[in-house]
Structure 1
Amino acid sequence: MAERSGPSRILPCILVGLGAFLLAIAILIPTYTVGKLEKTPLDLEVTTVATGTGSVLNSAALLGGKAQVDTNVPIVAQRYVTTQDPSDADIITVEAGQTVRRTDKQGDTGLLTATLDRVTLDRVSSMPTNDPVGTVQTSSDQPAEEVSRDGLQYKFPFNTEQKSYPYFDLNARATKDIDFVEETEINGLKVYHFQQTIDPVDLSKVVNSPTNKLSLPADTWGVPGGATPITMTRWYTNVRDLWVEPKTGVVVKGQEQLHQYYGRNKDAVDVEVLKVTLPFDEATIEYQVQQARDGMDKLSLFGRTVPIVAGVLGVIALIAGIFLGLRGGKGGTPARAAHGGTNQNPSGQGSPEPAPGEHDWTSDDTQVIPRPDLRKD
């Protein structure tokens, strides 16, 4: 007797195929999609603001013949980062406009420093490619200067580790390790705290600017010597603290203890130029925390949630398909034969149909065979 091969066989096949497909998705998504997501976005547009109160050299008074340092000055540092060309699937070029100004003075009189930095980075490691070589511009009337670099700057790599990383200091134009300090939390978010210390740097050897080495009378500097010219070098130091969300590499909080001063040597602070601690303000921290959380959610969705759901549904579909397939094979319904089925009468009791070539002698339409007449006339 033949078995039915209609819809009862199609559904198990569909379920088995669907289960296999979902299991394949569960395996491929973490290895393929997550790798695509672990790249710096190409639509960067980030503003960070840091504020503090410190000491600032009054440049107008210095030019007037006396070194005057203003104290308790409100200072704000602002950085605006955007994406520029060339940028593609592997690299991203960022441009960062950075200013430090005293807010108790208006316009250019309050501007202390201004820098336009441009660098091309690897979108995964966040390390500079130097192809093209980055540039730094510190004055609007001077062309940008090419500056190669070999350290992190604006972002840490994905899956940041608890170790030291090379970090490029823009003011010193040099790379020095930034060291892991501790694991802590900011606004409920786990972060890694890193710290970098920049020892005194002679800025006259970094940037060819007349303000980085000055010869003025000792009286102007406020040191002994009367009218004797004294040459002062501008020195720079910094203690940089960064708090990084490790999965995305987003810098959630930053702080710099900036110190610039004029001195006859690196150990002599003769005249303060700028001394201030500048941490990110709360609005910036909250924004950076949200950026990190958004990145973490995307990575978690495609790296964990979707594969788990797809895997569970795939297993269920596969088991259901196999179960229905086996059940259908055991419980098949006999099909009616073309010749010789069951001929039931209305009472439900049937008698077998005759095989081909045989005659049903129980049938009512009995054939009468004529007999020859043997009588003689």
Structure 2
Amino acid sequence: MRRITGATLFGLGILCLLFAMALVWVIVPSQRKVPLDLVPPDVVVETANASFVQAKTLPNGTPQVVVESAGLRSITGIKPDFAAAAGLDGETLVWNVYHSTRRIDTNEMINSAESRVALDRATGEAVPWEGQCHVEEPVPCAPGNVSFSGHLYLFPFGTEKTTYQYWDSTLGKALPLEYQAEEDYNNLPTYRFQQVVPEQQAHMNPDSLGALLAFLAPGATSGTISYRATRTLWIEPQTGAIVGYREQQHRELVPDAGPPVVIFDADLQYDQATLDAVGKQAADGRAQLMLMGVYVPIGLAVLGLVLIVVGLLLARGGSSPRGGHRAADVTQPLPTPVR
């Protein structure tokens, strides 16, 4: 009976070790993907003071374009397109992204944009898709008018200390986002990354550029847009969630006659509600990954080793010890001689 119990415990110990290894190397890695049904929280970045161009209509109906100074709040909302994603390979998300910027003091709309983007569930990178689009005007988003690349809203599960490509919507391309340091941020261990966009010329719709020149540089016949930006991201590495964000952006209208005119200057950061929402989502995801990828496998490994040792001891204890005494041979008595 001791041998049977020992063999059973030994087998259970081996199974525990195998399951622990499967969790670490097979099961958990296969689940390091954004759920298809994930609905991200709205993200708000804001600043108490910014310079920006605002188009207005005067009471008499005359249009006016002026540079204003006030607080700004930009909201990005994401609605997953489950139907579009279902038609792909099962490894891709399709998100409809809505963006709007308003004055904090009057709630007047300054600008808005709409995008459709396909993202890899594991790496978080944009993937080629014929339906992707981007528009900054109140017109339908035309599929195929943009080619998103790099990272936009997600980073890989197990984000590394390396350089990633991060999308710049002003330039319409992905640029390097460099790792800087480990840092505790938003009550989480994070990696801090930064993207520095050096001053350069940015494209603007000719009609919009013409309107800016007419109102802000009436003596000019042509001009360009000068643009620079610095973005700092704090990423929780286990989940790849962006738990902190800061964007410092500066744009100027540079006419061919007269001085440059600042048309946008702002230092935008997550508001407290966004910090709380993205922090909780990342903390929950991190806890699940640590539980299934670290703590449960360690517990199973320890339990497995204990069961193996106990099983071996029981199996050995159930057998006869070597060198023990053997029972004395039983001999038959000699026959008594007949006289």
Give the TM-score range, shorter chain.
0.7 to 0.9
The corresponding residue for 1:155 is 154
* Unpaired runs of at least 5, structure 1: 1-6, 332-351, 353-377
1:182-204 deviations in Å (ceiling 9; x for gaps) = 32211342222222223334332
The corresponding residue for 2:288 is 298
Structure 2 counterpart SS, 1:184: strand
How far has the Cα of 1:77 moved from its partner? 0.6
* Structure 1 pair 275–64 and aligned structure 2 pair: CA distance change class (3 A): farther
The corresponding residue for 1:361 is none
How far has the Cα of 1:160 moved from its partner? 1.9
Q: Which has the larger radius of gyration?
A: 1
Q: Contact conserved, 1:44 with 1:81, CA < 8 A, in 2?
A: no
How far has the Cα of 1:222 moved from its partner? 5.3
Tell me the amino acid that sits aligned with residue 138 of structure 1.
Answer: E
Tell me the amino acid that sits aligned with residue 127 of structure 2.
Answer: T
Tell me the amino acid that sits aligned with residue 273 of structure 1.
Answer: I
How far has the Cα of 1:145 moved from its partner? 4.7
Q: Pick from 16, 38, 46 the counterpart of residue 22 of structure 1.
A: 16
Structure 1 position 238 matched with structure 2 position 237? no
Percent sequence identity over aligned pairs = 27
The corresponding residue for 2:211 is 214
Structure 2 counterpart SS, 1:124: coil
**CA–CA separation in structure 1 for the residues paired with 2:26 and 2:259:** 56
Q: Pick from 310, 313, 320 the counterpart of residue 323 of structure 1.
A: 313
The corresponding residue for 1:93 is 94
The corresponding residue for 2:324 is none
1:151-202 deviations in Å (ceiling 9; x for gaps) = 1111122222222211111232112111222322113422222222233343
The corresponding residue for 2:333 is none
How far has the Cα of 1:311 moved from its partner? 1.1
Q: Contact conserved, 2:55 with 2:64, CA < 8 A, in 1?
A: no
How far has the Cα of 1:235 moved from its partner? 4.5
How far has the Cα of 1:48 moved from its partner? 0.8
Structure 1 position 59 matched with structure 2 position 59? no
Tell me the amino acid that sits aligned with residue 308 of structure 1.
Answer: I
Q: Contact conserved, 1:57 with 1:67, CA < 8 A, in 2?
A: yes
* Structure 1 pair 157–213 and aligned structure 2 pair: CA distance change class (3 A): farther
What TM-score does the superposition give when structure 1 sets the normalisation length? 0.74
How far has the Cα of 1:321 moved from its partner? 1.7
The corresponding residue for 1:138 is 136
Q: Pick from 122, 125, 148 the counterpart of residue 124 of structure 1.
A: 122
Structure 2 counterpart SS, 1:277: strand
Structure 2 counterpart SS, 1:329: coil
Tell me the amino acid that sits aligned with residue 283 of structure 1.
Answer: A
Tell me the amino acid that sits aligned with residue 80 of structure 2.
Answer: T
Q: Pick from 260, 263, 267 the counterpart of residue 270 of structure 1.
A: 260
Q: Contact conserved, 2:4 with 2:315, CA < 8 A, in 1?
A: no
* Structure 1 pair 9–81 and aligned structure 2 pair: CA distance change class (3 A): same
1:205-233 deviations in Å (ceiling 9; x for gaps) = xxx4621333755xx4356x4xxx63344
What TM-score does the superposition give when structure 2 sets the normalisation length? 0.82
Tell me the amino acid that sits aligned with residue 43 of structure 2.
Answer: T
Tell me the amino acid that sits aligned with residue 250 of structure 1.
Answer: A
Q: What pairs up with 1:1-377 in 2 under 5 angstroms?
A: 7-46=1-40, 47-52=42-47, 53-60=49-56, 64=62, 68-71=66-69, 73-84=70-81, 85-86=84-85, 89-106=90-107, 110-132=108-130, 134-146=132-144, 147-198=146-197, 199-204=199-204, 208=205, 210-214=207-211, 220-221=215-216, 225=219, 230-264=221-255, 270-330=260-320
Q: What root-mean-square deviation, in Å, do the aligned CA atoms of Structure 1 and Structure 2 show?
A: 2.8
